[in-house]
């Protein structure tokens, strides 16, 4: 019987709380807003972030952060990425060194360009930290649709402990020692998903989206390797797996945002009509800044950045990508192996 607290009540945090409660874990869930906390308690449904899904009665819902942090072996940080620093800082006063922090937020902090686990480790240097990422829409996990995900931590024993806690017959957890790659894959795919939505909004076809996704994982890998990630990680669940599901599903808020842009709506117009966080918007800025800092070529990210922040013309962006300078498909293979043909 595991004691787990979910810190956050968005769609993903709520889905994880439901998953663990159904497994039989002792689950507490922190809800930041007291009014939402009361609503979930009374109706047994998170109508704001995960409508249509029954909240099991054995989830202890509370807006008391201290209460939720106490007596749990695992604390799952499930807030939007831009709120992780503030939330973990608030948690610090209530946490013991033997508690494991599991981050399930997908993003890169704009101001510092840090990954979520790096932020947690700075604030809580004495705690073990793990991350979970992969192709996992909250709407499907909450409904027991079979899902696979990946867990990473600095120490194998921690990753495998978290694997044991979260694994169920409907939720398969793999482990991977590459924390950098696991986190970056989960964050950066949201940028490509915005682009996939733009393609749909413009009325382009499958050929276009396949090209975008394929070249998208190339530049994700390129940036990841420059930051110390392993290339193979991006061929896994937190890389190509998460990219596929986010670029093709209407559950994806990032894809829906892109569709709105492709149809001629403004970003502010779309964001004003949803209570959900579109992580890819902030991540695009961070990735753009990281690419410049690391001198890494990321043409798709650059065009998405121009769309979001410079109000670039969408069709010109498409032309810019299609008419870039000619190159090999696998530049590194040709250059490293010295292939002559």
Cα separation, 224 vs 234, whole angstroms: 9
Over range 61-75, report the average pLDDT. Answer: 97
Same domain assignment for residues 160 and 192: no
Same domain assignment for residues 192 and 298: yes
Between vectors from CA 128 to CA 123 and to CA 129, what angle results, nearest 5°? 75
Same domain assignment for residues 116 and 154: yes
Q: What is the pLDDT of residues 213-237, one digit of tens each?
A: 999 999 999 999 999 999 999 999 9
Same domain assignment for residues 196 and 308: yes
Q: What is the pLDDT of residue 212?
A: 96
Same domain assignment for residues 197 and 267: yes
Over range 251-276, report the average pLDDT. Answer: 89
Orientation of helix 253-262 relative to helix 279-294, angle to 10°:
90
Same domain assignment for residues 156 and 205: no
Whether pLDDT at 339 is above 70: no
In a domain, 40, yes or no: yes
In a domain, 341, yes or no: no
Q: Is 130 exposed, middle or buried (0-12, 13-18, 19+ CB in 10 A)?
A: buried
Q: Which of 103, 173, 110 is nearest to 136 (CA)?
A: 173
3-state secondary structure 143-158: CCCCEEEEEEECCHHH
| Number of structural domains found in the chain | 2
Strands (DSSP E) contained in the chain are: 3-7, 26-30, 45-46, 50-54, 59-62, 74-77, 100-103, 128-133, 147-153, 171-175
CATH code at position 256: 1.10.1040.10
Cα separation, 303 vs 284, whole angstroms: 10
Q: Choose, from 23, 128, 189, 209, the residue flagged as catalytic.
A: 189
Same domain assignment for residues 56 and 191: no
Same domain assignment for residues 167 and 191: no
Number of residues assigned to the chain:
341
Q: What is the pLDDT of residue 336?
A: 57
332: pLDDT confidence band, cut at 50, 70 and 90? Answer: low
Is-catalytic flag, 265? no
160: pLDDT confidence band, cut at 50, 70 and 90? Answer: very high
Same domain assignment for residues 157 and 226: no
Same domain assignment for residues 221 and 75: no
In a domain, 272, yes or no: yes
The domain boundary residue, chosen from 129, 145, 177:
177
Say which residue, 323 or 91, is predicted with more confidence. Answer: 91
338: pLDDT confidence band, cut at 50, 70 and 90? Answer: low
CATH code at position 166: 3.40.50.720
Is residue 130 helix, strand or coil?
strand
Q: Which of 31, 120, 98 is nearest to 68 (CA)?
A: 31
Q: Among 106-115, 154-163, 309-318, where is mean pLDDT lowest?
A: 309-318
Q: What is the pLDDT of residue 22?
A: 97
Q: Is 168 exposed, middle or buried (0-12, 13-18, 19+ CB in 10 A)?
A: middle
Q: What is the pLDDT of residue 264?
A: 93
Q: What is the pLDDT of residue 331?
A: 65
Say which residue, 324 or 12, is predicted with more confidence. Answer: 12
Q: What is the pLDDT of residue 334?
A: 52
Same domain assignment for residues 226 and 138: no
Q: What is the pLDDT of residues 12-59, one digit of tens each?
A: 999 999 999 999 999 999 999 999 999 999 999 999 999 999 999 999
161: pLDDT confidence band, cut at 50, 70 and 90? Answer: very high
**H or E stretch covering 37:** helix 34-43
Q: What is the pTM of this model?
A: 0.94
**What DSSP character marks residue 233?**
G
Q: What is the pLDDT of residues 110-140, one digit of tens each?
A: 999 999 999 999 999 999 999 999 999 999 9
Q: Among 36-50, 196-210, 243-257, 320-334, where is mean pLDDT lowest?
A: 320-334
**Domain that includes residue 70, residue range:** 3-177
Same domain assignment for residues 193 and 105: no
In a domain, 340, yes or no: no
Whether pLDDT at 300 is above 80: yes
């Amino acid at each position: 019987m595991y004691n787990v607290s979910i810190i956050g009540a968005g769609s993903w945090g709520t889905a994880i709380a439901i998953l663990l409660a159904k497994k039989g874990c002792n689950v507490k869930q922190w809800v930041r807003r007291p009014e939402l906390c009361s609503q979930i308690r009374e109706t047994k449904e998170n109508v704001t972030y995960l409508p249509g899904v029954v909240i099991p009665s054995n989830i202890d819902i509370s807006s008391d952060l201290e209460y939720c942090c106490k007596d749990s072996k695992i604390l799952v940080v499930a807030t939007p990425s831009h709120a992780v620093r503030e939330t973990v800082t608030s948690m610090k006063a209530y946490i013991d060194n033997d508690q494991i922090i599991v981050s399930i937020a997908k993003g890169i902090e704009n101001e510092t360009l840090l990954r979520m686990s790096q932020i947690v480790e700075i604030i809580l240097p004495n705690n073990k930290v793990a991350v979970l990422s992969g192709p996992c829409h909250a709407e499907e996990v909450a409904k027991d649709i079979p899902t696979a995900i990946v867990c990473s931590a600095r120490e194998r024993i921690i990753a495998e402990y978290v694997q044991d806690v979260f694994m169920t017959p409907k939720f398969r957890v793999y482990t991977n020692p590459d924390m950098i790659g696991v986190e970056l894959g989960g964050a950066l795919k949201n940028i490509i998903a915005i682009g996939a939505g733009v393609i749909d909004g413009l009325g382009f076809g499958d050929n276009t989206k396949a090209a975008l996704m394929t070249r998208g994982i190339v530049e994700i890998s390129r940036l990841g390797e420059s930051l110390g990630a392993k290339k193979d990680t991006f061929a896994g669940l937190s890389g190509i797996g998460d990219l596929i599901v986010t670029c093709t599903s209407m559950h994806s808020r990032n894809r829906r945002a892109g569709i709105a842009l492709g149809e001629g709506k403004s970003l502010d117009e779309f964001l004003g009509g949803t209570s959900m966080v579109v992580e890819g918007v902030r991540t695009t800025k961070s990735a753009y800044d990281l690419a410049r800092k690391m001198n890494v070529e990321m043409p798709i990210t650059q065009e998405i950045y121009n769309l979001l922040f410079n109000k670039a013309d969408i069709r010109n962006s498409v032309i810019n990508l299609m008419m870039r300078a000619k190159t090999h498909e696998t530049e590194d293979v040709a250059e490293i192996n010295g292939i002559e043909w």
